[in-house]
Amino acid sequence: MKIDLEDALSNNKYILDEEILPEFDNMEVRGINKPVYEASPVKLHLEHRGKRSVYITADASICILDKCDRCLKDVYIPLEIQTEHLYKEEEAQDPDNTAFIENNILDVDDLIKGEILTEYPVKVLCKEDCKGICPFCGKDLNPGDCGCKDQDKNLRMASLIDSYLKNKEV
């Protein structure tokens, strides 16, 4: 949703408290679209702060569906978004301050998406001690061992291991 900030910039008694449902159903993270599983309305607060400036706060809860980086199981990533910004029209040319505001129009979805990217985990795991999948047969190792023999698992590395053992200095 887009909100014109002109009234907030010019009216010294302007205050807006509104709940806005996000209008996006997926989120691009590191170049891959992730579905938004659940989203609460964004609690948006706008307040005039003198000399063509607006104080902006937004709170929301978003849950994104992703895959575990080790075993590829579905993982729900709950995120609590809380952000605040002071927008000054005179600083509108600075792209760091206005990534979600263009021509005094606030894009609430862009504001929330930017915050999601800063809160998103670097590594997504179904559990901290996820064992991943067997590189040889592809079986999920979390329920237990896959049954592949250790020597079968290491065939790809056999020549490197032999070379290391032959050239190892004691």
Dist. CA 24–CA 114, nearest whole Å: 13
- Spans of all domains in the chain: 2-119, 131-170
30-50 per-position pLDDT tens digit: 888 999 999 999 999 999 998
Angle at 1 between CA 35 and CA 59, to 5 degrees: 70
Residue 79 CB-half CA count within 13 A = 29
Q: Is the pTM of this model over 0.85?
A: no
Please give the Cα distance from 17 to 20 (Å, whole number): 10
Q: What pLDDT digit, counting tens, does each position of 49-69 carry?
A: 988 899 999 999 999 999 999
User: Whose CA is closest to 114, among 90, 97, 131?
Assistant: 97
